[in-house]
Amino acid sequence: MRHNRISGVFFVVLAACGGTDRSGANNSQGGSQVGSSSTGGADLGGSGDVGGTTQVDGGSGAGGSSFGGSSTGGTITAPLTGGASAAGGTIVVSTTGGASGTGGATADVGGSVALPPQLTWKREERLSVIWKIWGSSATDIYAVGQSGDLLHSTGNGTWTTQDPGTSANITGVWGSGPDDIYASVNSNFILHSTGDGTWTHQAYNAGYTFYDIWGSGSNDIYAVYGGASHSTGDGTWSYPPQSITGGPPVLGIWGSSATDIYAVTAASNGHTIFHSTGNGSWKSQTSPDVASMEDIFGVDAQHVYAGGNYFVLFSSGDGNWTTQLTATATIKAVWAPNLNAAYACDSLGKFYRSNGHGQWSTGEPIDSSLNPSCLAIWGTGPDNIYVGVSGGIYHGTP
C-alpha cells in the first residue's frame, strides 16, 4: 500500500498488477486477474466531506477515517478501469486486478496521472502481416512484415509498397533518422535505405537469420538472432556474434543509450531478459518466471517495459523486473512515448493502456469483428498510434 501526502492529508492510492509467436499463432492460455481491495473511503472534513460524496464502485472498503478540516471539494471514486488522478480536488483511483497496495500512482492537487485516452481504430492496410513499425516522424513511417512486405506512409492514411529485393520475412525496422533506415530479415543479410525508397542488402555469414534491429545512433547498430551482431554503420556486421542466450533466439532489442542495452528472448536457463553496457558482453537480469519475452521498449534508463507470455514487466533500470500487467494472451508488443503513457497489445487483438505509474486498463479490442493478433506498436504520442496486426495496419486516435 502506498500513501501520497497532499497538503498535509494522506490519500490511499491502490494499484493494479498486471501473446502469438512470429508465426502469428494465437495463444489464449492463462492470465487470471486478482481483484484488489480498496482502502480508504475516508471523509476528508470534520465540518464537511470531500465534495459531499465518497464512492467506491469496486473492491471491499476498509477504513473510513476522518482527517478533520473543512470541505476540500471534489469526489473520490474507485471505478474498475485503471488510472489514478487528482485534479481540482478530485482523486480517481482504479483497480484492474492484481494485489492491493502495489505500484500506486502519485497524485498531486491540481495535476493528474490518469490513463492516456482510449483510442478509436481505423484500418489503413489490409493485406500484410506486420511484425514491426517505426518512423522518424508522423509523416515518415515504415511497416515491415511477412513475405518481404515493406510499406511506407506519410501519415495520410495510405501505405505504399517498397521493394526490399527479398520474399523473406522482414522482422524489424529502425533508423537513426529519415535518411538512415535499417531492417532485419529472416535471412543472412540486413536491409538499408537512405530514405529514397530503395534498399540495399548488407550481407552476413550464411546460416544466420535476424529477428530484430535497433541502434543508439548511426554508428552503433545491433541486429539480433541467437546472439547480436554489431555495425558501426559502414555496411559490415561483426562476426562471430556477441553471445546473449547461448541458444534461444533473441526476439527483441532496445536501449536507452549506447551503454544501456536490453535483449529479450525465450527462456534460456530460466532467464528471458539480458543487459549489456555496450562492451560486447551480456548478463541475465532477475525477472518473474516467464516462458518467453517478445518485445522491449523504454522511455529512458529508469522506465523500461518488457512484454511476453501473459505479462508486462517493468524495471527502473536496477536489474530487477516486476509484473505490472497480467493478460489472458501473449503480450506481443510494448511501447511508451513518455513517463505518463505506456501501451501493450496481445495475440488476441487486445490493446492495453497505462498511465506509466503501474495502472493499466483492461484489454480493449482493436477490431472486435476480426480480433487480429497484434504484433507491433509505434506512434508519435498518445494521440497518434499505429499497430501492426496479422491482417494489416490500424491507426488509433482519441
Residue 61 confidence (pLDDT) above 70:
no
pLDDT cut 70: percent of the chain above it:
72
**Mean per-residue pLDDT, 302-318:** 96
- Domains in the chain with CATH codes: 1-113 (no CATH), 120-397 (2.130.10.10)
Digit-coded pLDDT (tens) for 97-115: 333 333 333 333 334 789 9
On whether the CB atoms of residues 339 and 50 are closer than 8 A, the answer is: no
Give pLDDT, residue 39.
36
**Mean per-residue pLDDT, 273-299:** 93
On whether the CB atoms of residues 382 and 116 are closer than 8 A, the answer is: yes
Residue 293 confidence (pLDDT) above 50:
yes
Phi, psi dihedrals of residue 148, rounded to the nearest 5°: 80, 15
Give pLDDT, residue 154.
98
CA dihedral in degrees (259, 357, 375, 242; nearest 10)? 20
CA dihedral in degrees (306, 329, 333, 171; nearest 10)? 110
On whether the CB atoms of residues 375 and 98 are closer than 8 A, the answer is: no
Pairing of strands 341-346, 350-354: antiparallel
Q: Which residue has the cell 491507426?
A: 395
Least confident interval from 46-60, 141-155, 181-195, 352-366: 46-60
Q: How many residues does the chain have?
A: 398
Digit-coded pLDDT (tens) for 192-234: 999 999 999 999 987 889 999 999 999 999 999 989 999 999 9
Residue 296 confidence (pLDDT) above 50:
yes
Digit-coded pLDDT (tens) for 151-182: 999 999 999 999 999 999 999 999 999 999 99
pLDDT-derived band at 184, boundaries 50, 70, 90: very high
Distances (CA, A) of 212 to 9, 204, 360, 367, 384: 49, 15, 27, 26, 23
pLDDT-derived band at 277, boundaries 50, 70, 90: very high
Measured CA angle at 223 (ends 132, 154), to 5 deg:
35
Digit-coded pLDDT (tens) for 4-50: 333 333 333 323 333 334 433 333 333 333 333 333 333 333 333 33
> For all residues of the chain together, what is the average pLDDT?
78
